[in-house]
Amino acid sequence: MQSGLKGRSILVTGASGGIGAATVRMLADEEAHVIASGRDEAKLLELQSTTGCEVLPFDLTSEDEVRSALTGLELYGVVNCGGWGGEIATPMETDTSVFDKVIDINARGTLLVTKYASQGMVAAGKGGAIVNVSSQASMVGLAGHISYASSKGAVDAMTRVSALELGKDNIRVNAVNPTVVMTPMSEWYWGRDDIGGPLINAMPLGRWATENDCAAPIVFLLSDGAAMISGVCLPIDGGFTAV
Protein backbone atom coordinates (compact mmCIF):
# COMPACT_ATOMS: atom_id res chain seq x y z
CA MET A 1 0.00 0.00 0.00
CA GLN A 2 1.28 3.43 -0.91
CA SER A 3 1.08 5.94 1.96
CA GLY A 4 0.73 8.95 -0.34
CA LEU A 5 3.00 10.94 1.98
CA LYS A 6 5.89 11.45 -0.43
CA GLY A 7 6.62 15.15 -0.76
CA ARG A 8 3.88 16.20 1.66
CA SER A 9 4.82 18.68 4.39
CA ILE A 10 4.16 17.37 7.90
CA LEU A 11 4.88 19.18 11.15
CA VAL A 12 5.83 17.05 14.16
CA THR A 13 5.94 18.76 17.56
CA GLY A 14 7.73 17.08 20.44
CA ALA A 15 10.22 15.77 17.89
CA SER A 16 13.10 15.87 20.36
CA GLY A 17 11.31 13.19 22.42
CA GLY A 18 11.08 9.45 21.81
CA ILE A 19 7.73 9.06 20.03
CA GLY A 20 8.14 12.33 18.13
CA ALA A 21 11.63 11.43 16.91
CA ALA A 22 10.50 7.94 15.87
CA THR A 23 7.63 9.52 13.93
CA VAL A 24 10.02 11.89 12.15
CA ARG A 25 12.21 8.96 11.14
CA MET A 26 9.28 6.93 9.80
CA LEU A 27 7.90 9.90 7.88
CA ALA A 28 11.34 10.52 6.40
CA ASP A 29 11.37 6.89 5.26
CA GLU A 30 8.10 7.65 3.46
CA GLU A 31 9.88 10.61 1.78
CA ALA A 32 7.62 13.19 3.40
CA HIS A 33 8.90 16.71 3.92
CA VAL A 34 9.13 16.66 7.71
CA ILE A 35 9.28 19.79 9.85
CA ALA A 36 10.48 18.94 13.35
CA SER A 37 9.77 21.08 16.38
CA GLY A 38 10.71 20.53 20.02
CA ARG A 39 12.31 21.94 23.15
CA ASP A 40 15.79 20.44 22.69
CA GLU A 41 17.34 22.12 19.66
CA ALA A 42 20.49 19.99 19.86
CA LYS A 43 18.42 16.81 19.53
CA LEU A 44 16.48 18.36 16.65
CA LEU A 45 19.72 19.15 14.81
CA GLU A 46 20.91 15.58 15.41
CA LEU A 47 17.62 14.32 13.98
CA GLN A 48 18.07 16.64 11.01
CA SER A 49 21.51 15.19 10.32
CA THR A 50 20.13 11.64 10.09
CA THR A 51 16.75 12.25 8.41
CA GLY A 52 17.08 15.50 6.46
CA CYS A 53 14.11 17.00 8.28
CA GLU A 54 13.61 20.73 8.56
CA VAL A 55 13.96 22.17 12.07
CA LEU A 56 11.46 24.71 13.40
CA PRO A 57 11.69 25.19 17.18
CA PHE A 58 8.99 27.18 18.97
CA ASP A 59 7.43 27.34 22.43
CA LEU A 60 4.11 25.51 22.60
CA THR A 61 2.99 27.71 25.49
CA SER A 62 3.47 30.97 23.58
CA GLU A 63 0.65 31.86 21.21
CA ASP A 64 2.85 34.53 19.62
CA GLU A 65 5.59 31.99 18.84
CA VAL A 66 3.15 29.39 17.52
CA ARG A 67 1.41 31.98 15.37
CA SER A 68 4.71 33.32 14.03
CA ALA A 69 6.05 29.85 13.23
CA LEU A 70 2.94 28.50 11.54
CA THR A 71 1.39 31.49 9.76
CA GLY A 72 2.05 31.11 6.04
CA LEU A 73 3.42 27.58 6.46
CA GLU A 74 1.72 25.26 3.98
CA LEU A 75 1.18 21.88 5.61
CA TYR A 76 -0.56 18.66 4.70
CA GLY A 77 -0.22 17.08 8.12
CA VAL A 78 0.39 17.79 11.78
CA VAL A 79 1.45 15.49 14.61
CA ASN A 80 0.80 17.09 18.00
CA CYS A 81 3.32 15.13 20.06
CA GLY A 82 4.73 17.82 22.34
CA GLY A 83 3.89 17.22 25.98
CA TRP A 84 4.93 17.06 29.62
CA GLY A 85 4.15 14.43 32.25
CA GLY A 86 3.95 16.68 35.30
CA GLU A 87 3.90 14.93 38.65
CA ILE A 88 2.67 11.76 40.31
CA ALA A 89 0.07 12.93 42.83
CA THR A 90 -3.44 12.22 44.05
CA PRO A 91 -6.25 14.78 43.63
CA MET A 92 -5.81 15.57 47.33
CA GLU A 93 -2.09 16.27 47.02
CA THR A 94 -1.69 17.73 43.55
CA ASP A 95 0.18 20.97 43.07
CA THR A 96 -2.16 23.20 41.11
CA SER A 97 0.76 25.07 39.56
CA VAL A 98 1.92 21.76 38.09
CA PHE A 99 -1.63 21.06 36.93
CA ASP A 100 -1.73 24.45 35.19
CA LYS A 101 1.60 23.80 33.45
CA VAL A 102 0.53 20.34 32.25
CA ILE A 103 -2.69 21.76 30.85
CA ASP A 104 -0.78 24.66 29.29
CA ILE A 105 1.64 22.41 27.42
CA ASN A 106 -0.45 19.33 26.63
CA ALA A 107 -3.92 20.74 26.05
CA ARG A 108 -3.47 24.43 25.24
CA GLY A 109 -0.34 23.68 23.18
CA THR A 110 -2.25 21.15 21.09
CA LEU A 111 -5.02 23.69 20.59
CA LEU A 112 -2.64 26.47 19.54
CA VAL A 113 -0.86 24.30 16.96
CA THR A 114 -4.17 23.00 15.64
CA LYS A 115 -5.56 26.54 15.49
CA TYR A 116 -2.80 28.05 13.37
CA ALA A 117 -1.87 24.98 11.33
CA SER A 118 -5.47 24.32 10.34
CA GLN A 119 -5.97 27.93 9.23
CA GLY A 120 -3.27 27.42 6.62
CA MET A 121 -4.56 23.99 5.67
CA VAL A 122 -8.07 25.31 5.11
CA ALA A 123 -6.76 28.26 3.08
CA ALA A 124 -4.71 25.93 0.88
CA GLY A 125 -7.82 23.87 0.14
CA LYS A 126 -5.94 20.58 -0.24
CA GLY A 127 -7.24 18.71 2.79
CA GLY A 128 -4.90 16.99 5.19
CA ALA A 129 -4.61 15.11 8.45
CA ILE A 130 -3.88 15.92 12.08
CA VAL A 131 -2.87 13.30 14.64
CA ASN A 132 -2.85 14.17 18.33
CA VAL A 133 -0.74 12.09 20.70
CA SER A 134 -2.94 11.45 23.71
CA SER A 135 -2.57 8.67 26.27
CA GLN A 136 -4.08 5.57 27.78
CA ALA A 137 -4.41 7.80 30.87
CA SER A 138 -7.36 9.57 29.24
CA MET A 139 -9.27 6.30 28.86
CA VAL A 140 -8.86 4.60 32.24
CA GLY A 141 -8.17 5.71 35.78
CA LEU A 142 -4.45 5.60 36.55
CA ALA A 143 -3.42 6.37 40.11
CA GLY A 144 -1.31 9.49 40.52
CA HIS A 145 -2.15 10.87 37.07
CA ILE A 146 -4.79 13.48 37.86
CA SER A 147 -3.03 16.32 36.00
CA TYR A 148 -1.73 14.31 33.06
CA ALA A 149 -4.99 12.42 32.56
CA SER A 150 -6.97 15.65 32.66
CA SER A 151 -4.78 17.20 29.98
CA LYS A 152 -5.06 14.16 27.71
CA GLY A 153 -8.82 13.94 28.25
CA ALA A 154 -8.94 17.48 26.89
CA VAL A 155 -6.85 16.37 23.89
CA ASP A 156 -9.35 13.58 23.14
CA ALA A 157 -12.23 16.05 23.27
CA MET A 158 -10.36 18.45 20.98
CA THR A 159 -9.78 15.58 18.57
CA ARG A 160 -13.49 14.82 18.23
CA VAL A 161 -14.56 18.47 17.95
CA SER A 162 -11.79 19.27 15.47
CA ALA A 163 -12.76 16.27 13.34
CA LEU A 164 -16.30 17.62 13.21
CA GLU A 165 -15.29 21.19 12.45
CA LEU A 166 -12.56 20.46 9.89
CA GLY A 167 -14.16 17.54 8.09
CA LYS A 168 -15.94 19.83 5.64
CA ASP A 169 -12.47 20.95 4.48
CA ASN A 170 -11.36 17.33 4.02
CA ILE A 171 -9.06 17.53 7.02
CA ARG A 172 -9.09 14.42 9.17
CA VAL A 173 -8.31 14.60 12.89
CA ASN A 174 -7.49 11.55 15.01
CA ALA A 175 -5.64 10.69 18.20
CA VAL A 176 -3.48 7.82 19.37
CA ASN A 177 -3.55 6.78 23.02
CA PRO A 178 -0.36 4.90 23.90
CA THR A 179 0.29 2.88 27.01
CA VAL A 180 3.60 3.25 28.85
CA VAL A 181 6.73 3.49 26.73
CA MET A 182 9.45 2.23 29.06
CA THR A 183 12.09 4.92 28.70
CA PRO A 184 14.68 5.82 31.36
CA MET A 185 12.39 8.73 32.27
CA SER A 186 9.39 6.48 32.96
CA GLU A 187 11.25 3.50 34.42
CA TRP A 188 11.64 5.10 37.87
CA TYR A 189 7.87 4.84 38.30
CA TRP A 190 6.48 2.18 35.97
CA GLY A 191 9.50 -0.07 36.45
CA ARG A 192 8.44 -0.72 40.05
CA ASP A 193 6.80 -4.13 40.49
CA ASP A 194 4.04 -2.68 42.67
CA ILE A 195 3.19 0.03 40.11
CA GLY A 196 3.87 -1.39 36.66
CA GLY A 197 3.29 -5.03 37.56
CA PRO A 198 -0.52 -4.93 37.84
CA LEU A 199 -0.83 -2.95 34.60
CA ILE A 200 1.35 -5.20 32.49
CA ASN A 201 -0.17 -8.33 34.04
CA ALA A 202 -3.60 -7.11 32.90
CA MET A 203 -2.37 -6.34 29.38
CA PRO A 204 -3.15 -9.15 26.91
CA LEU A 205 0.09 -8.61 24.97
CA GLY A 206 2.06 -8.43 28.20
CA ARG A 207 4.73 -5.91 27.23
CA TRP A 208 5.37 -2.19 27.20
CA ALA A 209 5.10 -0.19 24.00
CA THR A 210 8.11 0.99 22.05
CA GLU A 211 8.47 4.35 20.31
CA ASN A 212 8.06 2.61 16.96
CA ASP A 213 4.89 0.86 18.17
CA CYS A 214 3.44 4.35 18.62
CA ALA A 215 4.95 6.02 15.55
CA ALA A 216 3.69 3.47 13.02
CA PRO A 217 -0.05 4.05 13.75
CA ILE A 218 0.57 7.81 13.65
CA VAL A 219 2.05 7.51 10.16
CA PHE A 220 -0.85 5.29 9.10
CA LEU A 221 -3.42 7.83 10.31
CA LEU A 222 -1.65 10.52 8.27
CA SER A 223 -1.61 8.31 5.19
CA ASP A 224 -4.06 7.80 2.35
CA GLY A 225 -4.80 4.36 3.80
CA ALA A 226 -6.72 6.11 6.58
CA ALA A 227 -8.68 8.34 4.20
CA MET A 228 -12.03 7.45 5.81
CA ILE A 229 -10.88 7.55 9.44
CA SER A 230 -11.56 10.69 11.46
CA GLY A 231 -12.56 11.48 15.03
CA VAL A 232 -10.98 8.29 16.39
CA CYS A 233 -9.00 7.92 19.63
CA LEU A 234 -6.94 4.79 18.96
CA PRO A 235 -5.55 2.85 21.94
CA ILE A 236 -2.00 1.58 21.48
CA ASP A 237 -2.04 -0.40 24.68
CA GLY A 238 -1.61 -4.09 23.99
CA GLY A 239 -5.33 -4.64 24.54
CA PHE A 240 -5.39 -3.19 28.09
CA THR A 241 -8.52 -1.06 27.62
CA ALA A 242 -10.36 -3.87 25.85
CA VAL A 243 -10.52 -6.18 28.88
pLDDT tens, residue by residue, 153-193? 999 999 999 999 999 999 999 999 999 998 767 888 999 99
Residues 23, 51 contacting (CB under 8 angstroms):
no
Query: Does residue 115 have an active-site annotation?
Result: no
Q: 101, 126, 152, 168: which is the annotated catalytic residue?
A: 152
Query: Does residue 152 have an active-site annotation?
Result: yes
User: Of 183, 116, 179, 110, which Cα lies nearest the Cα of 145?
Assistant: 179
Domain with residue 35: its CATH number is 3.40.50.720
Domain assignment present for residue 200? The answer is: yes
What residue numbers bound the domain in which 40 lies? 9-232
Domain assignment present for residue 131? The answer is: yes
Domain assignment present for residue 191? The answer is: yes
Residues 191, 182 contacting (CB under 8 angstroms):
yes
Domain assignment present for residue 4? The answer is: no
Domain assignment present for residue 240? The answer is: no
> Which of the 8 DSSP states describes residue 117?
H
Domain assignment present for residue 79? The answer is: yes
Which pLDDT value is given to residue 7? 97
pTM over 0.95: yes
Overall number of domains in the chain: 1
Q: 101, 115, 148, 168: which is the annotated catalytic residue?
A: 148
Query: Which residues touch 217 (CB under 8 Å, ≥6 apart)?
Result: 176, 234, 236
Domain assignment present for residue 138? The answer is: yes
pLDDT tens digits, 106-155: 999 999 999 999 999 999 999 999 999 999 999 999 999 999 999 999 99
Domain assignment present for residue 242? The answer is: no
Residue 182 CA: distances (Å) to CA of 24, 176, 186, 187, 189: 19, 17, 6, 6, 10
